[in-house]
Amino acid sequence: MKPNPYLQKMGYSNTDRLVIIHTDDIGMCHASVQAFKDLWAVGTITSGAVMVPCPWFPATAQMCRENPEMDMGVHATLNAEWTNYRWGPVSEAGAGSGLRDETGYFHQWHQAVYDNASPEDVEAEVNAQIEMALKAGIDATHVDSHMGTIMSPLFIQSYVQAASSRLLPNMLPRLDAKGIEMMGVSEADMISYAPVMEMLEGIGVPTLNGIVAMPLDQPDGQMEIAKNLLGNLPEGITHFILHPSIDTPELRAIAPDWESRVSNYNTFMSDELKKFIESEDIKPIGYRAIRDAMRK
């Protein structure tokens, strides 16, 4: 595909490598909120996204109100994946809504959402989540996707419209983006997405050249993993995902992958990685820069 037009819109060349170092799942637990605050202060992250339906959303909103320079988006959430710790819709979806499982919470996994939720349910929910974030005082910089569920062909129209109607960028990879397989995009999806993506870029919707992520199943050796991923970013704009949390009893009780989340945090808190990022020919940016270019 042709060079990403947002490179020049933001004052970069077509061969520059930009990276959004992005923390997911903020507000899922207290450990994620404190991790974001610490990493933002250190300067190794450039953006994050809050899970509005989760219990620590109000604390995240307070943090953003007190630190308006923080780059925080909305992590559009349709799943509650843990076994003993759950959350549900914030919209007016009743007990019979396809967004809810038999216990009243969100479904745990993607397929149950695809099998039960209607596009209308999803549209109402993602818009409610964005509005709740804005009303709480978060200067939302973008909309992305928890577990990739809302990026299904069933729901992607609601995902894009909810953001673009507010002049917010989505996490939206091009079809030739490095790492697009992480989003579970099938060959059939590729065929259906192609004209949509071409149309979106034509009307000025930002897209990404790469999506890469720190592992959640490999707590050891993450410094070298991070350096390898950062050192091999493609030209254009890459969304770099991590799930950092400080080590707390709450986190250990919630998440079987807690060790990797803590390792994500420790790796990006390190001066060694900060110096590596500074030494590489890459340019860290937040979604606010893309949002502001989109609004121009």
Q: In this structure, is residue 278 part of a structural domain?
A: yes
Q: In this structure, is residue 111 part of a structural domain?
A: no
Give 227's contacts (C-beta < 8 A, 6+ positions apart): 273, 276
Q: Identify the burial level of 274 via C-beta atoms within 10 angstroms of its C-beta, where 0-12 means exposed, 13-18 middle and 19 or more buried.
A: middle
Q: What is the pLDDT of residue 202?
A: 84
φ/ψ (deg, to 5) at 211: -135, 120
Confidence of residue 201 (pLDDT cuts 50, 70, 90): confident
Q: In this structure, is residue 88 part of a structural domain?
A: no
Query: Could you give the residue ranges of the DSSP H alpha helices within 80-118?
Result: 110-116
Instruction: Indicate which CATH number applies to the domain containing 42.
Output: 3.20.20.370
Q: In this structure, is residue 211 part of a structural domain?
A: yes
Residue range(s) defining the domain that contains residue 39: 5-78+139-295
Q: Percentage helix, strand, coil, to 5, in the chain? A: 45, 15, 40
Q: Residue 97: is its pLDDT beyond 70?
A: yes
Lowest mean pLDDT among 107-111, 117-121, 151-155, 263-267: 151-155
Please give the tally of structural domains in the chain: 1
For residues 251-256, give the mean pLDDT.
98
For residues 17-46, give the mean pLDDT.
98
The span from the CA of 63 to the CA of 36, in Å, is 10
Lowest mean pLDDT among 59-68, 107-116, 179-188, 230-239: 179-188
pTM: 0.95
Q: Residue 286: is its pLDDT beyond 90?
A: yes
Q: In this structure, is residue 12 part of a structural domain?
A: yes
Q: Residue 195: is its pLDDT beyond 90?
A: no
Q: In this structure, is residue 216 part of a structural domain?
A: yes
The span from the CA of 179 to the CA of 199, in Å, is 22
Q: What is the pLDDT of residue 184?
A: 65
Q: In this structure, is residue 101 part of a structural domain?
A: no
Q: Residue 165: is its pLDDT beyond 90?
A: yes
Q: Residue 239: is its pLDDT beyond 80?
A: yes
More confident residue, 128 or 175: 128
Q: What is the pLDDT of residue 103?
A: 92
